[in-house]
């Protein structure tokens, strides 16, 4: 195995005691940037042709969460950086398996075709924001350690977009529910204009989806409501008074989408 620094996937595997089905591991895999081995370079249309090993368990794609690990395995020059969520969505329903970091890292794992199908369903599940449903807020009750730990990790990774997050109990039409109040980070950019507001709304939906996904994987029995609260909203003031706060570090630098195949979120990878 390589001596590379611990990656988020390594850490999740360590905390899960090597259980590849643990929610923390699945969450880390969905959010990883993976180097997918290809049979050939991507075509002009950007379609990817994964290299498939014919194993006893069936055809298996190979991916690595670090270029050094890809090199240690002996991978060739034909590979593409693909978000884990996009890769799983691409492979799901194809009857193929996925091996990640085989023989080169503590986070070596194997997922069969059925597991990939399940992960794709979790990732694609619609996450509904809770604006308009939330009434009175109080201290959080019934939150599991697994849920709090998963939220802590995910929220820390969303520092480019979020400045505050508070776990509370909210009164909803269906009764009291755990809820997460989020405050957006000030970007300094002008807020006027349809395009900017549409982009901001798309970003909020993506944040809600990411947080909801982590919550479902960590604690499938708990339904978590997620909502954004403006800085001057009474709901945010109430959340600060009664809620459990999460530390969200400021980002060191703005995230810049990569130019490698599969890294542009507006052009997801296609299976050739």
Say which CATH number the domain at 172 has: 3.30.300
Q: What is the pLDDT of residues 230-246, one digit of tens each?
A: 888 888 899 999 999 99
Q: Answer whether residue 167 is part of any domain.
A: yes
DSSP secondary structure string for all residues of 135-179: --EE---S--HHHHHHHHHHHHTTTTTEEEEEEEEEEETTEEEEE
> Burial letters for 199-227: b for 16+ Cβ neighbours within 10 Å, e otherwise?
eeeeebeebbbbbbbbbbbbbeeeebbbb
Among residues 123, 167, 171, the alpha carbon closest in space to that of 145 is found at 167
Domain count across the chain: 2
* Residue 111 sits in the same domain as residue 153: no
Q: Does pLDDT of 112 surpass 70?
A: yes
Q: For residue 43, what is the domain's CATH number?
A: 3.40.1350
* Residue 88 sits in the same domain as residue 119: yes
Q: Rounded to an integer, what distance in angstroms lies between the CA atom of residue 240 and that of residue 165?
A: 9
pLDDT number for residue 190: 45
What integer is the mean pLDDT of 152-175?
A: 89
* Residue 20 sits in the same domain as residue 86: yes
Instruction: Give backbone dihedrals phi and psi of 67, rounded to 5 degrees, phi first.
Output: -65, -35
Q: Answer whether residue 3 is part of any domain.
A: no
* Residue 151 sits in the same domain as residue 223: yes
Identify the burial level of 54 via C-beta atoms within 10 angstroms of its C-beta, where 0-12 means exposed, 13-18 middle and 19 or more buried.
exposed
Q: Answer whether residue 271 is part of any domain.
A: no
Q: What is the pLDDT of residues 33-70, one digit of tens each?
A: 899 998 887 766 667 888 999 999 999 999 999 889 99
pLDDT number for residue 254: 43
pLDDT number for residue 152: 93
Identify the burial level of 103 via C-beta atoms within 10 angstroms of its C-beta, where 0-12 means exposed, 13-18 middle and 19 or more buried.
exposed
Domain boundaries, position 29: 8-124
* Residue 27 sits in the same domain as residue 118: yes
* Residue 168 sits in the same domain as residue 94: no
Helix or strand holding residue 52 (H, E): strand 52-55
Q: Answer whether residue 187 is part of any domain.
A: yes
Q: Answer whether residue 225 is part of any domain.
A: yes
Q: Which two tokens stand for residue 197?
A: 């507001």
Q: Answer whether residue 132 is part of any domain.
A: no
Q: What is the pLDDT of residues 180-218, one digit of tens each?
A: 999 988 755 444 455 455 566 767 877 888 888 889 888
Q: Tell if the pTM clears 0.75, that is, is over it.
A: no
* Residue 120 sits in the same domain as residue 15: yes
CA neighbours closer than 13 Å in the CB half-sphere of residue 56: 0
Q: Answer whether residue 212 is part of any domain.
A: yes
Q: Answer whether residue 266 is part of any domain.
A: no
* Residue 108 sits in the same domain as residue 158: no
* Residue 120 sits in the same domain as residue 202: no
């Amino acid at each position: 195995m390589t001596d590379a620094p611990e990656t988020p996937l390594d850490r999740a595997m360590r905390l899960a005691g090597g259980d590849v089905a643990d929610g923390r591991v699945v969450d880390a895999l969905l959010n990883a940037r993976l180097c997918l081995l290809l049979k050939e370079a991507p075509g002009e249309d950007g379609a990817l042709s994964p290299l498939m090993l014919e194993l006893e368990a069936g055809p298996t794609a190979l991916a690595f969460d670090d270029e050094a690990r890809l090199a240690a395995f002996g991978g060739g020059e034909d590979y593409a950086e693909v978000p884990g969520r996009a890769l799983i969505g691409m492979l799901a329903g194809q009857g193929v398996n996925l091996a990640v970091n085989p023989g080169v890292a503590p986070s070596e794992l194997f997922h069969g075709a059925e597991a990939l199908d399940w992960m794709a369903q979790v990732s694609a599940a619609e996450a509904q924001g809770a604006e308009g449903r939330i009434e009175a807020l109080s201290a959080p009750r019934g939150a599991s350690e697994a849920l709090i730990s998963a939220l802590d990790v995910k929220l820390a990774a969303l520092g480019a977009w979020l400045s505050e997050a508070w776990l509370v109990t909210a009164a909803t039409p269906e009764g009291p529910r755990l809820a997460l109040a989020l405050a957006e980070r000030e970007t300094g950019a002008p807020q006027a204009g349809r395009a900017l507001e549409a982009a901001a709304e798309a970003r909020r939906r993506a944040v809600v989806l990411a947080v909801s996904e982590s919550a479902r994987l960590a604690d499938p029995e708990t339904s978590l409501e997620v909502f954004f609260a403006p800085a001057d909203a009474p709901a945010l003031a109430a959340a600060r008074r009664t809620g459990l706060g999460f530390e969200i570090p400021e980002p060191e630098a703005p995230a810049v989408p990569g130019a490698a195949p599969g890294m542009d979120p507006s052009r997801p990878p296609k299976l050739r």
